[in-house]
Structure 1
């Protein structure tokens, strides 16, 4: 493995370990083998997957981060965008929408958010998608059964819901989806203070461009605090953004 890719993956693993708020974890499956990892996260609240623990098999391609990690669910899950047989995933973030500024953490957060926002019209598992469209109550029941059986989710007591759609649960799901989107947006900043990055995005550059320039120049994250950059650094970043460095 190239030294650049090794440093990148080690940094990403350390970043996940130091960020409990992301609610995801990852570790190598075998000691010192950074090409094969396993990620974990909990099922989102107010969904049939709530309380379950989900494991993700992660394989790092040779040209990462220019190609996305190859991810699949090890934990069996009943979801239209995840194969109920193989755990294969249908998600733009892991294919056409991948960018080198995205990370393993942001991909895992996207998968967690996917559990809250199934897309039956763009399925990985047609049978599950058909059930969700034609019989949503049956879908909710089956998804919860699988969460209990395969992901260790607690059984609901009599009278409790099982992730079924109610006005309150729909509102909570919408809030959960928004929180997932917010986490993804924050993940784009790679630990840099948003205001610090936005001084450059206000010039017309997008967040991934600015973050990549910061990392190229070696800007200190200062634990996410805002601060004034030295003039020399400002020049280096601007030159990088305009393709002059």
Structure 2
């Protein structure tokens, strides 16, 4: 497997976005888009299997990881444009896209606005709309007033993982805790604003690309109902419900990878 270290592009509004490739050139490119509060390493355990089939392109969304952290609210349009500018800079005309949580919102935006850049689409543990807006306003205000990320990190972990993993002090959970604590509050708050303002419930009907929706049976952030709504709105979309909480790629990697790889590699 050929791996590259982290590189950067600069977007039209002057924000540096970190990215990296894994896998051999010449294979179909699979773009991975992450959850709020994570960086491109949230996919580390899945990359060895994915690179058997794809050249994997990962990136840190603005506000996260090694990317810049502009202050103020972000918009889904801007997060989507970041990806388009990344693909343009790398000379990639069309890629498979797999997005989880916030990454799933971004992936939906790509399928709506630039479907010619998308081959097949996987939307995991995500929603087309997460209201009401007031809950996000309160969360943003409380986060920006907090002394650090400690309380927010623990909230994320409770929402992401089953109790058995939390109680066992799982090494995987600890890695995600470290990432959360290192994440700037402005990046989380800005991303929450993007989710607050996003409503794709009608426009995802315009997505023309083959789509797989993965939902978590026990997900309390983006419920299985949210996945069902997406799958019933996008023409021809398939739905796979896993007995997982929110980060289904981490909790059930075997089932997750089987669903993703089968969908992306099957002949049509």
Same fold by TM-score, threshold 0.5 exceeded?
no
Where relative contact order (Cα < 8 A, 6+ residues apart) is larger, the structure is 2
TM-score by length of 2: 0.24
Instruction: Determine which structure has the larger strand proportion and give its number.
Output: 2
TM-score by length of 1: 0.26
